[in-house]
Structure 1
Amino acid sequence: MIFKNNLAFAQRLDQQDPLHHLRDEFLFPQQNGAPFIYLCGNSLGLQPKSAREYMSRQMDNWENLAVEGWFEGATPWMFYHKELKALMANIVGASAAEVCPMNTLTVNLHLLMVSFYRPTAKRFKIIMEAGAFPSDQYAIESQVRFHGYDPKDAIIEVAPRAGEATLRTEDILDTIATNGAETALVLFGGINYFTGQWYDMPAITKAGHHAGAVVGFDLAHAAGNVPLQLHNWDIDFACWCSYKYQNGGPGGISGIFVHEKHFADTSLDRFAGWWGYQEEQRFKMEKGFTPEMGADGWQVSCTQVIPMSLYHASLKIFEKAGFIAPLRQKSLQLTAYLEYLIQEVNTQLGFEQYKIITPKDLADRGAQLSIVAQHHAKEIFNALVAKNVLGDWREPNVIRLSPVPLYNSFQDVFHAAEYLMAISKDLISPKQ
């Protein structure tokens, strides 16, 4: 598509957008009596208008049924997670049996590493991306220490080449091949939180398995953002949060994926709890843990009903959208339009004030663009917020902007760039 830098063009794209009506399903934060142009769904998704309704149903069940709500009412809490599983499966490309909503992201990462990081004297290393989200770094370091290893010896980080911001797939695959005999686990983010790079998950998985390692992914920035096929890609395990692209609310419930090939593996360790026990036998309260078949067998504590209801509300909007494929088509256009407009700003300024470090290849990115501001970075970010454009700041000089196809419009993107141009002209001398 040939883009144009004018409002009429953006309005025409919105008129042609078959998903534009979904914008009305969400609540936009306000400032000075006007809604924000919200481009921060990569950090916290907007609240669905239906979230209060879904939560109120469960509050009513609590009020009217109290403890009987576990087994009575339209959505008994004992089985409520099953209403979400089929919806979640469509988000990540899995069967309903392979996914489960539970806990929070880093808790689930730890629980899954208990099962899938099984170091031996010869095979004990973990390969991960350098610059992974800190929580992943801390979790992996602590797991390595828990097994008696020094992170300096046991963790291999794949870093970008000198002068580059993102990883080359061949460097990831070469690292796996070189260290394969000593590698127990390959654990990457699906999309890097800082650069927005979407890693080649099928290739990484294939290389990890060829080396004899287990392969898992943290999909915090990928689930609900890009098309995933976790089952078909033969990924061993994954986990994600619901509060970014999936709009599950702040600190919202997490989800896990465990490939069905592991369901019958009784050798897998796990930190067990009674909600992961065989469902039909759970209330016999017997000793000796027998897990429920499927991802549900990794549950520990009772269903988190209220957080689950908020996630449920958003998943139903994904269902209205036709899940990920239609959203991906819009996302590609939205993000490409934003990229075009940022380059237009650079052209008008006469130099590259804004350098996009997110990969240019559409296949290597989702809805996020990470933009290095060469001059006055924090001032520009603050000025955008003052103009009701809310993105995301990352030190030392990166502005992350994420046009989310469920609720952002082409006019949002146009006006954000328009404000960016005006602010830049005020703060930056031409050809600075």
Structure 2
Amino acid sequence: MQFKNTLEFARELDKQDELARYRAQFIFPKHKGKEVVYFTGNSLGLQPRSAARYVEEIMTDWANLAVEGHFNAEKPWWEYHERFSEKLAKVVGAKPAEVSVMNTLTVNLHLLMVSFYRPSGKRYKIICEEKAFPSDQYMISSQVRFHGYDPDDAIVELKRRDGEHNFRTEDILAKIAEVGDECALVLIGGVNYYTGQVLDMENITKAGHQIGAIVGWDLAHAAGNIELKLSDWKVDFAAWCSYKYMNSGPGNVSGYFVNEKYHGKKDIPRFEGWWGHNKERRFLMEPEFQPESGANAWQISNAPVLALAPYLASLEMFDEVGMPALIEKRNKIVAYLEFILHEIDKEVDSSFEIITPAQQEERGTQLSVFLHGEGRELFTYLMENGVITDWREPNVIRLAPAPFYCSYEDMYKFGQVLKQGIQNKKSISKL
């Protein structure tokens, strides 16, 4: 398709968009009485209008049923988390028994590492990416220290080549082979939070298994954004937050995946609690732990249903639309945003550098743009003019047009505000 940088063209794309009707199902912040252009679904997704109703259902059941809501509510609380399994399985490419929800992302990764980081003898090292999201860096370092190792020795960071913004798959595979039988665990972010690069999870997982390592993935920026096939790729474990592309609300409950080959094992190292105990015998209060079947064996405490409710509201929409349709729109709207950026770059004689890979298979919803010669003043101008985006040092804005609620007209409007911001700065500098 031949794109055009005009309002008329953008509106025509919106008319053709089969997902356009879902925009009205989300609540947009307002700027000077108008909906903002929202590019930070990679940080916090917008609130689904149905979320309040899902929460209110629980509040009403609590008021009317009190403790009996655990069993007699329309959506009984004691099995509320089970409602997620089939729908989440479709989002992450898993079997329903392999996925569930609990806690928050870093907590889940810590708990999963109890089972899947088991250093022994010469096999004790963890391979991760350099400049991972800080929470992952802290988590991995603390796990290594907990087991009595020196992080400088036990953590192997994957490096980008000098002068390059993204990882090369061949370099990752070579490093995994090099570490070899010293590697206990490969744990990487499936989508890099800074550049938006999508890693080749299938081949990286295969390479980790070839050297005898466990392979896990932090899917914070992947779940609800890109196609995942965790079961087919034979991933050992994974976890993701729900408040970015999955619109569950700030700091909300995390999803997690445990490959079925680890199910039903009573002797697997695991921190255990009564919600992971055999559901049919849970209230017998038996002293010996009998694990639930599937990923639910990793549950510890009863589900925080008030927190889960907005996640379920959003997940219902994911199930209705399906990841293929979301990915189809994602590809088109990101391509249009990329086109707009290049057009504005030419019009204002600026110097933008999109550091997200250009290849479709290596990117999702996010474009990270290096603003050479511009600086934070341009970011501030965007924010003050109704474009909500994200700044990352030293000079990058991250743009994430979530396909559920962003429009093509938003892309055009952003381009116009961006152009005005650069032109204004140049006009002031000439005074």
Structure 2 residue aligned with 1:277: 277
Structure 1 residue aligned with 2:420: 422
Give, in whole Å, the separation in 2 of the partners of 1:90 and 1:198.
19
**Amino acid corresponding to residue 375 of structure 2 in structure 1:** A
Structure 2 residue aligned with 1:32: 32
Alpha-carbon distance, 1:230 to partner: 0.6
Structure 1 residue aligned with 2:349: 350
Give, in whole Å, the separation in 1 of the partners of 2:46 and 2:87.
19
SS of residue matched to 1:399: strand
Retained in 2: the 8 A contact 1:169–1:200?
yes
Structure 2 residue aligned with 1:360: 358
**Amino acid corresponding to residue 146 of structure 1 in structure 2:** F
**Amino acid corresponding to residue 399 of structure 2 in structure 1:** L
Give, in whole Å, the separation in 2 of the partners of 1:127 and 1:267.
26
Gaps spanning 5+ residues in structure 1: where?
none
Structure 2 residue aligned with 1:199: 199
SS of residue matched to 1:100: strand
Distance 1:240 1:120, change over 3 A: same
Give, in whole Å, the separation in 1 of the partners of 2:384 and 2:89.
39
Alpha-carbon distance, 1:422 to partner: 1.2
Structure 1 residue aligned with 2:177: 177
Give, in whole Å, the separation in 1 of the partners of 2:396 and 2:285.
53
Structure 2 residue aligned with 1:127: 127
**Amino acid corresponding to residue 214 of structure 1 in structure 2:** I
Per-residue deviation, residues 358-379 of structure 1 (Å, max 9, x unmatched): 1111110100011111123211
Alpha-carbon distance, 1:128 to partner: 0.5
- Structure 1 residue 398 corresponds to structure 2 residue 357: no
Structure 2 residue aligned with 1:308: 308
Alpha-carbon distance, 1:94 to partner: 0.8
SS of residue matched to 2:72: coil
Per-residue deviation, residues 129-151 of structure 1 (Å, max 9, x unmatched): 11110001101001001100000
Give, in whole Å, the separation in 1 of the partners of 2:30 and 2:132.
32
- Structure 1 residue 8 corresponds to structure 2 residue 3: no
Give, in whole Å, the separation in 2 of the partners of 1:317 and 1:264.
32
Structure 1 residue aligned with 2:375: 377
Structure 2 residue aligned with 1:410: 408
Give, in whole Å, the separation in 1 of the partners of 2:353 and 2:132.
21
Retained in 1: the 8 A contact 2:11–2:408?
yes
Give, in whole Å, the separation in 2 of the partners of 1:415 and 1:111.
44
Normalising to structure 2: TM-score of the pair? 0.98
Alpha-carbon distance, 1:164 to partner: 0.4
SS of residue matched to 1:428: helix
Alpha-carbon distance, 1:320 to partner: 2.2
SS of residue matched to 2:382: helix
Retained in 1: the 8 A contact 2:125–2:182?
yes
Residue correspondence of structure 1 range 90-105 to structure 2 within 5 A: 90-105=90-105
Alpha-carbon distance, 1:32 to partner: 2.3
Structure 1 residue aligned with 2:386: 388
- Aligned CA RMSD, in angstroms, stands at 1.4
Query: Alignment length, in residue pairs?
Result: 430
Retained in 1: the 8 A contact 2:160–2:168?
yes
Alpha-carbon distance, 1:284 to partner: 1.2
Moved more, 78-87 or 190-199: 78-87
Structure 1 residue aligned with 2:226: 226
Give, in whole Å, the separation in 1 of the partners of 2:268 and 2:165.
37
Give, in whole Å, the separation in 1 of the partners of 2:289 and 2:184.
26
SS of residue matched to 2:297: helix
- Structure 1 residue 73 corresponds to structure 2 residue 73: yes
Give, in whole Å, the separation in 2 of the partners of 1:114 and 1:381.
41
**Amino acid corresponding to residue 324 of structure 2 in structure 1:** A
Structure 1 residue aligned with 2:113: 113
Per-residue deviation, residues 223-262 of structure 1 (Å, max 9, x unmatched): 0000111111110000000000000000111011001011
**Amino acid corresponding to residue 154 of structure 1 in structure 2:** A
Retained in 2: the 8 A contact 1:375–1:428?
no
**Amino acid corresponding to residue 412 of structure 1 in structure 2:** D
Alpha-carbon distance, 1:429 to partner: 7.1
4+ aligned runs moved over 4 Å, structure 1? none
Give, in whole Å, the separation in 2 of the partners of 1:38 and 1:234.
35
**Amino acid corresponding to residue 48 of structure 1 in structure 2:** P
Structure 2 residue aligned with 1:246: 246
Per-residue deviation, residues 76-127 of structure 1 (Å, max 9, x unmatched): 1011111121111111011111001110000000000000001011100000
Moved more, 139-148 or 258-267: 258-267
Give, in whole Å, the separation in 2 of the partners of 1:212 and 1:57.
48
Give, in whole Å, the separation in 2 of the partners of 1:6 and 1:333.
16
Give, in whole Å, the separation in 1 of the partners of 2:8 and 2:348.
23
Give, in whole Å, the separation in 2 of the partners of 1:429 and 1:294.
63
Per-residue deviation, residues 157-206 of structure 1 (Å, max 9, x unmatched): 00110000110000100000010210000001010101101000001000
Give, in whole Å, the separation in 2 of the partners of 1:210 and 1:91.
27
SS of residue matched to 1:186: strand
Residue correspondence of structure 1 range 202-221 to structure 2 within 5 A: 202-221=202-221
**Amino acid corresponding to residue 173 of structure 1 in structure 2:** L
**Amino acid corresponding to residue 76 of structure 1 in structure 2:** P
**Amino acid corresponding to residue 324 of structure 1 in structure 2:** M
**Amino acid corresponding to residue 335 of structure 1 in structure 2:** V
Alpha-carbon distance, 1:285 to partner: 1.1
Structure 2 residue aligned with 1:51: 51
Alpha-carbon distance, 1:269 to partner: 0.5
Identity of aligned residues (%): 52
Structure 1 residue aligned with 2:21: 21
Per-residue deviation, residues 4-49 of structure 1 (Å, max 9, x unmatched): 1111111111111111101111000112222111111000000000
Give, in whole Å, the separation in 1 of the partners of 2:268 and 2:134.
27
Alpha-carbon distance, 1:266 to partner: 3.7
SS of residue matched to 1:417: helix
Alpha-carbon distance, 1:281 to partner: 1.0
Give, in whole Å, the separation in 1 of the partners of 2:118 and 2:264.
17
Give, in whole Å, the separation in 1 of the partners of 2:263 and 2:320.
31
Give, in whole Å, the separation in 2 of the partners of 1:185 and 1:268.
16
Retained in 2: the 8 A contact 1:116–1:268?
no
Gaps spanning 5+ residues in structure 2: where?
none
**Amino acid corresponding to residue 346 of structure 2 in structure 1:** T
Structure 1 residue aligned with 2:326: 327
